[in-house]
């Protein structure tokens, strides 16, 4: 029997993360925790968009994410990951300062020049060298 070429990828579990995943046009889309109703709804929505578009590549909205949206997502992650740690307060300081300075900037537009400008802003605020270095390293790692 011939193999179906236009068959949708199935809903499956990503072993390393425990999340549900679907592959469309060679790209993996994470749907949330495997087995949850929300992940199955997301699977149905993505497959519907894929079929409606005639199998075209889905347009990724990642290029339209602002610094505020990225910081909010990271803050939610940090609250769980760093629970009970002093790191959470350190991240909070950097997040607040970045949000005030570059909140409406698109993430794709936040490059090395803006990072240097952010560092200079921290210097003007008379933060210690250790605090500034820590803040800049955290920005580069995010």
Residues 53-95 have pLDDT tens digits of 777 655 556 567 888 888 888 888 888 888 888 777 777 878 8
Alpha-carbon distance of 84 to 50, in angstroms, equals 42
Determine, yes or no, domain membership for 3: no
* Cα 50 to Cα 57: distance, rounded to the nearest angstrom: 7
| 24 phi/psi in degrees, rounded to 5 | -125, 125
The pLDDT value recorded for residue 59 is 58
* Same domain flag for 20 and 40: yes
* Same-domain check for residues 81 and 127: yes
Whether 99 has a pLDDT exceeding 80, the answer reads yes
In a domain, 2, yes or no: no
pLDDT confidence of residue 62: 56
Residue 64 has which token pair?
A: 């339209």
pLDDT tens digits, one per residue of 7-48 = 778 899 988 888 999 988 778 888 889 999 999 988 988 888
In what helix (H) or strand (E) does residue 40 lie, and over which residues does it extend? helix 37-52
Taking alpha carbons only, the member of 33, 29, 79, 36 closest to residue 57 is 29
Based on the domain organization, do 48 and 115 belong to the same domain?
A: no
Q: Are residues 68 and 122 in the same domain?
A: yes
The verdict on 45 and 83 lying in the same domain is: no
Q: Say if 1 falls within a structural domain.
A: no
4 inside domain: no
Q: Which one of 43, 59, 75 terminates a domain? A: 59
In a domain, 72, yes or no: yes
Domain that holds residue 126: 64-141
The half-sphere exposure of 45 on its side-chain side, counting CA atoms within 13 A, is 9
Number of folded domains that form the chain: 2
Report pLDDT for 37. Answer: 93
């Amino acid at each position: 029997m011939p193999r179906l070429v236009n068959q949708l990828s199935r809903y499956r579990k990503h072993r390393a993360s425990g999340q549900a995943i679907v592959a469309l046009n060679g790209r993996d889309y994470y749907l949330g925790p495997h087995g949850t109703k929300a992940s199955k709804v997301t699977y149905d929505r993505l497959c519907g968009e894929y079929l409606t578009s005639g199998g075209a590549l889905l347009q990724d909205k990642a290029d339209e994410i602002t610094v505020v949206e990225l910081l909010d997502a990271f803050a939610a992650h940090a609250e769980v990951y760093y629970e009970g740690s002093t790191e959470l307060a350190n991240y909070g300081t950097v997040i607040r300062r970045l949000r005030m300075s570059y909140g409406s900037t698109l993430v794709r537009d936040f490059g090395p020049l803006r990072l240097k400008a952010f560092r200079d802003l921290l210097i003007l605020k008379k933060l210690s060298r250790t605090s500034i270095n820590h803040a800049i390293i955290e920005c580069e790692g995010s």
